[in-house]
């Protein structure tokens, strides 16, 4: 048996620490192919015990067995409502001989659970167990997963987490600039730094930017007069920017969501 716990992970990155909180999550604990064994609050459109709608075989689940088994086309999984979150994470693995690269996982968001807008169309799904992360289009709402089975293969699906990342413990000098980054969620990894002076006529130059991932690894350092960032080579996920103006330090969060 396994559990997906609400957790807080703190890590130090120079003068900043970052934490994550799982606000909605499931590892399909005790799921046995029936609606009665599905986790409370989650909607799953297809269940089966004869041809099991779950995997327990080695390599076909995330942290521990079972995982959910997408076996039919257009099967739907919907999360409970979440609030104040910014990141979606889940484990998946395409199974089949072969698993068709035309199969897709469509991910939708809804603010009211009635009207849905797709924000991820993932094709070329991984055929080895992989955790995927995407930025959420809204801090509140519901998420729906739809497996489109255009050819052979089934999808193992597990360890779904809707996460809130928060920057805490950031030290800044009183006269540091107010810096905006746009967009905060980017599909191509291109970001622009907007320098909004704290006092009229007082402009600050960004001398250095450091880019960290959510486990505290430094991914990039950019020096000089920095006005934009090209992070197109980085994978989808949450990143933290440590910006160094003429004086002080500011930390910002960005999301790359392809």
Q: Domain ranges for the chain, please list them.
A: 11-166, 171-256
Query: Degrees (nearest 5) of the Cα angle 71, 72, 77?
Result: 85
Q: What does DSSP assign to residue 169?
A: S
Q: Which position has the higher pLDDT, 167 or 249?
A: 249
Q: Which position has the higher pLDDT, 27 or 201?
A: 27
Rounded to an integer, what distance in angstroms lies between the CA atom of residue 19 and that of residue 22? Answer: 10
Cross-strand pairs, 69: 156
User: Domain spanning 171-256: which superfamily?
Assistant: Macroglobulin (MG2) domain (2.60.40.1930)
Cβ neighbours of 161 (radius 10 Å): 24
Instruction: Summarize the confidence of residues 184-208 as an average pLDDT.
Output: 72
Q: What does DSSP assign to residue 80?
A: P
Rounded to an integer, what distance in angstroms lies between the CA atom of residue 80 and that of residue 87? Answer: 15
What pLDDT, on the 0 to 100 scale, is given for residue 144? 98
Cβ neighbours of 169 (radius 10 Å): 13
Rounded to an integer, what distance in angstroms lies between the CA atom of residue 210 and that of residue 207? Answer: 10
What pLDDT, on the 0 to 100 scale, is given for residue 228? 87
CB-count burial class (<10 Å; 0-12, 13-18, 19+) for 52: middle
Is the pLDDT at 11 greater than 60? The verdict is no
CB-CB contact of 180 with 194 (8 Å): yes
Q: pLDDT category, 237, cuts 50, 70, 90?
A: confident
Tokens of 254: 């960005």
What pLDDT, on the 0 to 100 scale, is given for residue 2? 42
Is the pLDDT at 159 greater than 90? The verdict is yes
Q: What pLDDT digit, counting tens, does each position of 64-103 carry?
A: 999 999 999 999 999 999 998 888 999 999 999 899 999 9
CATH number among 2.60.120.200, 3.40.50.1240, 1.10.150.300, 3.40.190.10, domain 11-166: 2.60.120.200
Half-sphere exposure of 212 (CA within 13 A, CB side): 20
Half-sphere exposure of 31 (CA within 13 A, CB side): 31
Query: Which stretches within the chain are classed as H helix?
Result: none
Q: Outline where DSSP puts E strands in 84-236.
A: 87-95, 104-110, 117-122, 130-135, 142-148, 154-168, 178-182, 185-186, 190-196, 208-213, 218-223, 228-230
């Amino acid at each position: 048996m396994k559990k997906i716990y609400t957790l807080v992970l703190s890590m130090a990155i120079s003068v900043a620490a970052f934490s994550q909180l799982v606000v909605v999550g499931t590892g399909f604990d005790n799921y046995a192919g029936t609606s009665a064994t599905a986790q409370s609050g989650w909607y799953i459109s297809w269940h089966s015990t004869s041809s099991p709608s779950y995997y327990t075989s080695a390599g076909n689940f995330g942290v521990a067995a079972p995982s959910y088994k997408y076996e039919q086309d257009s099967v739907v999984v919907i999360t409970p409502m979440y609030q104040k979150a910014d990141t979606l994470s889940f484990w998946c693995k395409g199974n089949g001989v072969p698993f068709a690269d035309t199969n897709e996982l469509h991910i939708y968001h809804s603010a009211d659970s009635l009207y849905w807008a797709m924000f991820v169309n993932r094709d070329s799904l991984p055929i080895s167990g992989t955790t995927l992360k995407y930025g959420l289009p809204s801090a509140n709402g519901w998420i729906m997963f739809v497996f489109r089975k255009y050819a052979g293969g089934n999808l193992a699906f597990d360890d779904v987490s809707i996460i809130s990342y928060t920057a805490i413990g950031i030290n800044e000098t009183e006269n540091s600039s107010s810096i905006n980054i746009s967009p905060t969620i980017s599909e191509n990894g291109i970001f622009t730094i907007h320098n909004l002076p704290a006092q009229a006529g007082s402009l600050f130059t960004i001398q250095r930017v450091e880019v960290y991932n959510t486990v505290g690894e430094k991914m990039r350092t950019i020096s000089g007069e920095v006005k934009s960032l090209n992070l197109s080579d980085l994978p989808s996920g949450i990143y933290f920017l440590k910006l160094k103006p003429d004086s002080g330090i500011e930390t910002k969060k960005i999301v790359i969501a392809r």
